[in-house]
Amino acid sequence: MNTEARTLESWLDSGGRADYGVRIMVFDTHTHSKLSTDSKMNAEDGIRAARNKGIGIIFTEHYDADCPHPFPEFRVDGAAYLKAYEKYRAADVLLGIEIGLSMDFLQENKDAAARDFDVVIGSVHSVRGVDIYTDLNGGAKSINAGEYLTYMKELLNQDIFFDVLGHIDYPQRYVENPEEYDYLKNSDIYDEILHICVKKHIVPEINSKRLGDDKAFRQLAPIYAKYREFGGLFVTIGSDAHNPKNIGLNFKEAFDMARTFGLSPVYFEKRKSCTID
């Protein structure tokens, strides 16, 4: 393989489609294949879709120890996953895991992360028995923005065994009034979270899933502006695609977000951050 590095500029200029064969420097850093309970995507189809877009792909399968679904749903077997997917590892295909953080399963989660992954994403998918997807999506239980963000802060104050803080705007995908999560309505707690990220070298993700929507872009902008103001330098950019079509979705907007606030997009390989430039 030609290892000439492609720059971010040239990738963006190419409209996201370019000659495959150069070393890919832009990765979709957050995707799920059929090893995640909520995805049916074959790894090969994901890899092909990423290559067609001229980007690399990082699989980050779900491991949620506190998920309300019966075992083994949403709890990928890390050893079996790495064994099955080792054959796909390449300059443009990396293997990671997305761990649903939980105060009740700190050790289980640390153990799940302690394998040969390129990246570990820590995400808050549930808050003390309230499952964000199920419960805020018309389910029985509820939490408010303050409770969600306070729980996130509590988790970030523990020992850190992950590289990336996944989708800080996860509940806004499902709640009726995403404005409840606006920076200005929760600035104290957002500031604490962002200060911890800077201090502990946790890289916040720009999750591109909602960024096709201008309102969502404007809602997230102050959070990344503050992160930079507090000394944060790096972000990862991931689509959270669960199918081939969504790989690289809204990347233009996500890179615009990073550039607007002077943040450098990175990806992780062997748990080390690699700058895209």
- Residues near Zn ion (CB under 5 A) are 98, 123, 240
Spatial contact of 63 and 109, defined as CB atoms under 8 Å apart:
yes
| Dihedral sign of CA atoms 235, 250, 46, 1 in order | negative
Taking the complex as a whole, the smallest distance from the CB of residue 69 to Zn ion amounts, in Å, to 14
Taking the complex as a whole, the smallest distance from the CB of residue 94 to Zn ion amounts, in Å, to 15
Give the long-range contacts of residues 82-90, CB within 8 A, separation 24 or more.
82/115, 82/116, 82/117, 84/35, 85/35, 85/43, 85/59, 88/43, 88/44, 88/47, 88/59
Taking the complex as a whole, the smallest distance from the CB of residue 23 to Zn ion amounts, in Å, to 26
Which residue's CB atom is positioned nearest to Zn ion?
A: 123
| Dihedral sign of CA atoms 22, 27, 33, 36 in order | positive
Cβ closest to Zn ion, residue 123 vs residue 219: 123
Helix (H) or strand (E) holding 111: helix 106-113
Taking the complex as a whole, the smallest distance from the CB of residue 63 to Zn ion amounts, in Å, to 11
Cβ closest to Zn ion, residue 11 vs residue 122: 122
Cβ closest to Zn ion, residue 131 vs residue 240: 240
Cβ closest to Zn ion, residue 104 vs residue 277: 104
The neighbouring-strand residues paired with 62 are 98
Cβ closest to Zn ion, residue 88 vs residue 133: 133
Taking the complex as a whole, the smallest distance from the CB of residue 133 to Zn ion amounts, in Å, to 9
